[in-house]
């Protein structure tokens, strides 16, 4: 059975949500903040795991001010590829693409793209290793409901 909606643990904070796309097999843990904008997508792929207190930002501001002393805001899409794992407390900045099967270490500040099948850690995040592309065997007994987990059915 394929889930029809992602598993999202409350609380989650989102500015607009208009262009946030989360695959139905994704998991978002508690305290996730998505600072999105109506002009740029935030896409979370299939089987992505997002740890607690992760921040995803798709809006930024100019370095200079206009004639009214205001900074111009801009939107820049953020893409998290299929099967990526984002560690607790990571921050993903505007314009970043995290490749499929990549891992972002807890507490990392992701300022640049991370290629598929790579591990990035630190502040700013740097690629430190690769991830194998082997596909693990499917578990024989998949628990999909709380009742199944508790054996109360």
Q: Which residues are catalytic?
A: 61
> Could you identify the residue written with the tokens 């998290």?
80
Which residues, 6 or more positions from 36, have their beta carbon under 8 angstroms from its beta carbon? 14, 15, 16, 17, 18, 19, 20, 42, 56, 58, 59
At residue 139, the 3 state secondary structure works out as coil
Q: Is 112 helix (H, G, I), strand (E, B) or coil?
A: coil
C-alpha 51/C-alpha 48 separation (Å) is 10
């Amino acid at each position: 059975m394929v889930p029809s909606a992602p598993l999202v643990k409350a609380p989650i904070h989102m500015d607009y949500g208009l262009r946030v796309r989360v695959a139905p097999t994704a998991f978002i843990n508690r305290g996730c903040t998505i600072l999105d904008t109506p002009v740029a997508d935030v896409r979370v792929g299939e089987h992505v795991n997002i740890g607690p207190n992760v921040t995803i930002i798709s809006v930024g501001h100019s370095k200079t001010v206009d004639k009214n002393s205001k900074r111009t805001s801009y939107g820049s899409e953020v893409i998290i590829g299929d099967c990526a794992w984002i560690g607790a407390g990571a921050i993903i900045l505007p314009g970043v693409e995290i490749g499929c099967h990549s891992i972002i270490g807890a507490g990392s500040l992701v300022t640049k793209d991370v290629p598929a099948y790579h591990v990035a850690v630190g502040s700013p995040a740097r690629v430190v290793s690769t991830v194998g592309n082997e596909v693990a065997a499917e578990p024989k007994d998949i628990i999909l409901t709380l009742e199944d987990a508790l054996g109360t059915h």
